[in-house]
Structure 1
Amino acid sequence: MIQADKEKYRDILDSSVEYLEQHGYENIKADTEGYETPKSYAKKGSDISVTPDIVATKEGRKHYFDISLKSEKPKLLKSKWLFLNTLTALKSHRFRLITTRGHFKFTNDMLEDINLHDKKLIKI
């Protein structure tokens, strides 16, 4: 989810963190109250920074999660997903998308546009 939507969808972020805790993820870092904020990555030459919504570990492997919700700025969301996918591939981590009812089609269309259609979604 992009920074502009964080406040609007705070409840979905909190339920996603709960879901991950119930499924054995540890050392959870999330951009919400009560959790440490994940590391941000700044784009060189601009003021854009990319912060994954949730970072957690499970069985010794780091997982990056981004929450996929309908957005006013799909281009920014696509570039964030491509960056996180590339970053996780380089470091042998995992990148997953979390989505909710009403946002499946939007998410699948976006993944198709950027050729990440092989990504499995976590549906909450």
Structure 2
Amino acid sequence: MIHADKEKYRDILENSVEYLEQHGFENIKADTEGYETPKSFAKKGSDITITPDIVAEKEGRKHYFDISLKSEKPKLLKSKWLFLNTLSTIKSRPFRLITTRGHYKFTSEMLDDINLNNKKLIKI
């Protein structure tokens, strides 16, 4: 999710963190209270920063997670996903999207638009 939606969907972020904890993920970093904030990546020459919603480890491997929810700025969300997908590919780390009921169609259409339709969604 983009930074503008963080407050609006804080409960979904917290539910996602609980889901990951229940499925064996450790050292969870999330952009919410009570957790360390994941590392941000800044674009050179501008003030744009990208922060994954959740970074967690399982079996010694770091995983990147982003929460997919309907947004007023889909272009910004698409560029964030493309960046995180590229980063995860370069570093050989999995990147997954988490979505909830009511947001499945939006998410699948967005993934089709940017040719990431091979991504499996975590549906909470």
Indicate the TM-score class for this superposition, using the shorter chain for normalisation. over 0.9
Query: Scaled by the length of structure 2, what TM-score is found?
Result: 0.99
Which runs of 5 or more residues in structure 2 are unaligned?
Answer: none
Separation in 1, partners of 2:55, 2:25: 9
Paired residue for 1:46? Answer: 46
> SS state of the match for residue 56, structure 1?
strand
> How many corresponding residue pairs?
124
Task: Say which SS state the counterpart of residue 29 (structure 1) adopts.
Answer: strand
Report the AA paired with residue 89 of structure 2. A
**What is the alpha-carbon distance in structure 2 between the residues aligned to residue 82 and residue 88 of structure 1?**
10
CA distance in 2, matches of 1:42, 1:53: 15
Aligned partners of 1:102, 1:110: CA distance in 2, in Å? 14
Q: Share of identical aligned residues, percent?
A: 85
Q: CA deviation at 1:109?
A: 0.2
- The match for 1:61 is 61
CA distance in 2, matches of 1:38, 1:50: 10
Q: For 1:98-117, list aligned pairs within 5 A.
A: 98-117=98-117
Distance in 2 between residues matched to 1:82 and 1:102, nearest whole Å: 23
Question: For the residues of structure 2 that align with 1:115 and 1:48, how far apart are their CA atoms?
Answer: 23
Q: Report the 3-state secondary structure (helix = DSSP H, G, I; strand = E; otherwise coil) of the residue aligned with 1:20.
A: helix
For 2:44 and 2:4, how far apart are their aligned partners in 1? 21
Quick one: distance in 2 between partners of 1:51 and 1:76?
12
TM-score (norm 1): 0.99
Q: Separation in 2 of the partners of 1:44 and 1:109?
A: 30
Q: By how many angstroms is 1:83 displaced?
A: 0.2
Shift in Å at residue 45 of structure 1?
1.0
Deviating above 4 A after TM superposition, structure 1's stretches of 4 or more consecutive aligned residues are none
The CA distance in 1 between the partners of 2:46 and 2:81, in whole Å, is 18
